[in-house]
Every structure is written in structure tokens, then in C-alpha cells.
Chain A
């Protein structure tokens, strides 16, 4: 499993051109629009939501969608539309946190073992291989078993279980850099190991880190929602899409809107992030995106 390191120097574009290039595909435009709406809804949830997401009996139990309650009401008479808006806050925040954990820890781990090489690298790779042998959801569940249930712990669990994958790619990318002249010359002028890692290797790895992050965000949102659906993530009464779906499962015969809208929100969020991420990875690194 060798992933080509990106030709870093050619991939750094000024932000304006990067945005222009990213929006050069219809899928990415659609994704960006959906994502923008979701981010807007998440940020301004307190202003936009017609009701308090946790206030019960603002409408009849399991009431059908109407002009006052766009997405209907749940078992406790809470407004589903308001809960979905607040859910967007949680899902996006948790998704970003999860990806940040995987990226930071994975990048450091992969970079350091590749840089130190020798026995450290061999043991590190072996460990990564074993970790990758765990089905991702099982690893996340195992970590939740240790940390306990909750939205934050679920994010931590998904983040940690994503580390090996990131570390594997970063290690390969670092290996292609450590033999290059600029690293050799940094060594020659007596730069410390930490300095080489931080000032010479890390900047060159950043494009690939961004690519990995943009490709992972959708999956991270989906995985944390999955844990909540299983009862291992966000707990009631938190407005969380996975938890809302889990509650809606019981009443779908009488009130299908309790599961249709949270699922739709989750699907649109994950898809829009994936559409933008996919395109961004093409623009940033045409070669690596094939591995995504």
C-alpha cells in the first residue's frame, strides 16, 4: 500500500484561485451550496429556529409537518425542524473535532516513525497494520467502552480509530521526502530533529494532510451519528441527528417524519462535505485523489 506523496510545491495555490478551481465542477457547486446552507443554519440556529429545540409540548405529540412545524413533531411534542438546526451545530462541530484528532495524531505518528526509520519504523508499521485489522466500527465501539458514552467521547473514539489510516498515508509520504536534498542540507547545517520535522517536513506534507482531512470529514460525521444511533454517542435529550433517528425508529409507522428528516439532514450534510472534499482533493493533489 504505497500512496504517492503529492508534488507539494506545485499544489499550493492562492486561496482565491483555490476556491475558483474547486468550484469548477457542478458537483462541487451543489455541495458547496448545501454545505453553506447547513453552516448558516448551524451558526444562526438560535435565531432561525422557530422553537426551543428542547422545549416539550410546543405542538401535539407526533404531529405531522405543517406551516408552523415544517418537519413535524416528535414524541415529546418538540419541533423537529428546530432540533435539526441545532443538530447541524453538533454534527459539524463533532465532525471537525473528530477529523482534527485523527489528523494531528496521525500526522505526528506517521511523520515521526518514517523520519526516525529503522526499528521504530518497523514497530510502528506493525502496530498500524494490527490496528487497521480492527473493523473501524468495532475499534470505535471498543474505545467508547473505555471512555463511556456521550457526544464528546464518541467524537474522541471515531477520531482515535481514524489515526492508523492517516498515519499510514503520512508515513509513506514522509518516506519520499526524507531522502530529498532539502532534508539532507538541513541535517548538514545542524538543524535539530524537531526543527527538521516542523520546519521542513510538515509544510511539505500539509497539502496531503488537507486532502486527507477533506476526504475524511464526511465519514467522520457519519460515524459519530452512527454511534449516537446505537446509543453510544450523544444522549437524549440532545438534538443530534443519529439519536433522533434512533428515537424515530420506534414511531415510523405513525410518524415517519420523525426519521425521514433527521436522516435526510445527515445524508445531505455528509454528501455535501464529500462532494466538496472530493473536488478539493482533485484540485490540491490530482494524483492522491485517486486513492481516496
Chain B
């Protein structure tokens, strides 16, 4: 086959999407109880009303027809209507996307600044004090409940010191939630940058760059970082992909009306189309961003392109 590599990659995600959507559909079929009763939110109704509603939702069809209709609708972005709001799920998601996106970007920013700074500091002096402190605090980091950290930040900086507002839509209300997310991103990122840097710094071309008389900053910034950048970018890309689906916990702690808190509410109110739509959106975004990352590597690094061919 002589298809260009990127078209092959793009077509490659079709089965993955298809399988993912099928799993979501299959899992939600297992919900006990009559979906029509859930759709009506427990209001008493006559058999006739129930039958009408069943027909309207397509629930009178056999499961395989429902499944095919579901796949067809997902493929064109029709996520159905929510039970409680009766609004199209895609519009509901679009309306709540901004708070989640802002938080994702804010968290990413904090994570990158902190992670890159710590990673470089630790990687340039392995076993120095920054490195030792960072590596030994890694286990503490993964053990910290993010919702607890968020609450402690609110208590100290919001309530006691009153440096930042803890509620609202403004950019300043984004500071604490971004730090909450960023702290957890920074840990993984710093470790990746550290190990990549330690490896690259021993390469011959770095020694050559040094011996050419280049400044240390230039060697690190231009020669070492460039080659150490792919694993950290992968990590960030995947984290971002998760975050645009809504930072479920952080949104809850800071009472932000994003996609994450919408998912929790949808589960609690048993709004099945909304749960389904949100999970389809989240997983699809994840798969697509994954694809974009791979295409990006193919462009940046020709070796990857030929390996995939």
C-alpha cells in the first residue's frame, strides 16, 4: 500500500473509536430498571404515555437496532437529549466546556512551569539536593489526595490569608484550582525531564557542544532539551486529553461548573444520555489528541515516520 503514513494513522483510529463507543453503549445497557421510567424522572404516567415515550426514545426497537442507531448518531456527533433538561447533550457539553478548558490550560501552565524548572534543576545535578528532595517526595506526592490539597489551599490562601478569591469566574479564581492540578502534573513531568536530561547530557554531541565553547544555558536549551522533549510532551498531551473531559475532583472541590461536575450530577440523577454523551466525548477527545500527538511526532522526527510505515 502506498497510502501516505498520516492517512493510515488517521484511519487507524476508526476501529478504536468504534470499540470504545461500543463499550460505553454495552456498559450502559446493564443499568437496571426501565430507561423510560428514568427518562420521566419518576413522575407517574399512564401506560400510553410510557409507550409513547418508549417509541420516541427508540427503546421499542430490538437492542441491535438501538446499537446501530447509537453508532450512527455518535459518528455524526448527535449525542441525543438529556433526560432532565430535554436539551441536546452536545449543546449541554458545549455550554460547560469553557470552565473545564480554562482549568485544563491553567493546570497545564502551572504544571509545565514547575515541572520543567524542577526537572532541569534535578537532571543537571543528579543526586544533588534538589534531585534528592524531589525523588524522595515522589511517593508522598502520589499519596496526597488532590481534593484534600485543594481544600487546604482554599483554607490557607483563600480563607486565612485572603490572597485569592475561592469562587467566581474571573482569572484569579482560577489560580488555586490550577495549582491543585499543576502540582500533580509537575511531579510526573519533572521526573521524566530529569531522566531524559540525564541520558542526553552524556551523549557525544553534548560534549561537542560544550567543547565548542557554547554557554551552559545554550547547550541545555538548544541541544539537550530538544532531544529530551518527546516523552514530556507525550505525558502533557495525554494529561491535557484527560483534563478537557473535566477535572472531576478539582471541579467539585472548587465548585466549578465544568464537564467533570456535570458528569457527577448526571450519574447521581441517572441521566443516562448525558452520562453516555460525556463519556463518549471524553474518550473520543482522548483518542483524537493521542492521534494528533503521533502525527506531530511524525512531522518533528522523520525516524518515527519511517518506523510506522
CB within 8 Å of B: which residues of A?
27, 126-127, 129-131, 133-135, 137-138, 141-146, 149, 218-219, 222, 225-226, 229-232, 242, 245, 248-249, 252-253, 256, 259-260, 263, 266-267, 270-271, 274-275, 278
CB atoms of B151 and A130 under 8 A apart: no
Chain B contacts of A219 at CB under 8 A?
142
The answer to whether B16 has its CB under 8 Å from any CB of chain A is yes
Closest Cβ of chain B to A110, distance in Å, is 18
**B residues less than 8 Å from A141 (CB atoms):** 248, 263-264, 267
Determine chain A's interface SS by DSSP, over half rule: helix
B211 on the A face (CB < 8 A): no
User: At the interface, yes or no: B296 with Cβ under 8 Å from chain A?
Assistant: no
B253 touching A249 by the CB < 8 A rule?
yes
Could you give 19 example pairs across A and B, Cβ below 8 Å?
Answer: A131-B23, A133-B290, A134-B283, A135-B245, A138-B245, A142-B27, A142-B279, A145-B31, A145-B275, A149-B268, A219-B142, A225-B145, A229-B145, A245-B145, A245-B151, A267-B143, A271-B139, A274-B139, A278-B139
- Pairs A-B, 10 closest by C-beta atoms: A263-B148, A271-B143, A270-B143, A135-B242, A130-B19, A145-B267, A146-B30, A145-B275, A146-B31, A259-B151
Q: A130-B20, A142-B27, A142-B275 are in contact. Are A230 and B249 (CB under 8 A)?
A: yes
> Could you say which residues of chain A place their CB within 8 Å of the CB of B263?
138, 141
Question: Which B residues from 130 to 157 make CB contacts under 8 A with A?
Answer: 139-140, 142-145, 147-148, 151-152, 154-155
> What residues of chain B lie closer than 8 Å to A245, measured between beta carbons?
145, 147-148, 151
Known: A138-B283, A252-B151. 18 other contacts (CB 8 A): A127-B19, A133-B290, A138-B245, A141-B264, A142-B279, A144-B267, A145-B266, A145-B272, A146-B31, A218-B143, A229-B249, A229-B252, A230-B248, A230-B249, A231-B268, A252-B154, A263-B152, A274-B139
A27 touches B139 (CB 8 A): yes
CB contact list, B241-275 vs A, under 8 A: 242, 245, 248-249, 252-253, 263-264, 266-268, 270, 272, 275
B249/A252 in contact, CB under 8 A: no
> Which residues of B are found within 8 Å of A143, using beta-carbon distances?
27
Q: Output the least CB separation between B127 and chain A (Å).
A: 17
**Inter-subunit contact A275/B139 (CB<8 Å):** yes
Near A by CB (< 8 A), chain B positions 1-37 give 16, 19-20, 23-24, 27-28, 30-31
Count: A-B pairs, CB below 8 Å: 116
The count of chain B contact residues (Cβ–Cβ below 8 Å) is 42
Q: Does B159 contact A (CB under 8 A)?
A: yes
B83 at the interface (CB under 8 A from A): no
> Across the interface, do B143 and A133 meet the contact criterion of CB distance under 8 Å?
no
Complex alpha-carbon distance, A230 and B23, angstroms: 24
Task: For A269, give the chain B residue with the smallest CB separation.
Answer: B143
Residues of B within 8 A of A225 (CB): 145
Assess whether B282 is interfacial by the CB under 8 Å rule.
yes
- When the two chains form their complex, are residues A231 and B31 in contact, meaning their CB atoms are under 8 A apart? no
In the complex, what residue of chain B is closest to A232 when comparing beta carbons?
A: B267
Q: Which residues of B contact A (CB under 8 A)?
A: 16, 19-20, 23-24, 27-28, 30-31, 139-140, 142-145, 147-148, 151-152, 154-155, 159, 242, 245, 248-249, 252-253, 263-264, 266-268, 270, 272, 275, 279, 282-283, 286-287, 290
Choice from B19, B28, B30, B266 contacting A126 with Cβ under 8 Å = B19
A229 to B145, CA, bound (A): 10
Residues of A within 8 A of B19 (CB): 126-127, 130
A95 to B28, CA, bound (A): 25
Find chain A residues with CB under 8 A from B242 CB: 135
By a CB distance below 8 angstroms, the chain B residues around A249 are: 151, 253
Q: How far is the CB of B164 from chain A (nearest CB, A)?
A: 15
- Shortest C-beta distance, A160 to chain B (Å), equals 10
Task: Give B142 Cβ to nearest chain A Cβ, in Å.
Answer: 7
In whole angstroms, how far apart are the Cα atoms of A41 and B56 in the complex? 56
Residues of B within 8 A of A267 (CB): 143-145, 148
> Are A274 and B23 neighbours in the complex by a CB distance under 8 Å?
no
B199 to chain A, nearest CB (A): 15
**Once the chains are docked, how many angstroms separate the CA of A256 from the CA of B139?**
26
**Which residues does chain A contribute within 8 Å of B154, judged by CB atoms?**
252
- Bound: A231/B260 CA distance, A: 13
**Quick one: closest B residue to A148, CB to CB?**
B32
Q: Which residue of chain B is the closest to A126 with respect to CB atoms?
A: B19
Task: State in angstroms the CA–CA spacing of A127 and B23 once bound together.
Answer: 9
A266→B147 CA distance, assembly (Å)? 11
Query: Complex Cα distance A222/B149, Å?
Result: 13
Residues on the B chain within 8 Å of A259, using CB: 148, 151, 155
Give CA–CA (A102, B253) in the complex, Å.
Answer: 28
Quick check: A226 and B145 within 8 Å, CB to CB?
yes
Other-chain contact of B159, A130, A253, A270 (Cβ < 8 Å): A253
Contact B148 A133 (CB under 8 A): no
Interchain CA distance A147-B95 in the complex, whole Å: 28
Identity of the chain B residue whose Cβ is nearest the Cβ of A264 in the assembled complex? B148
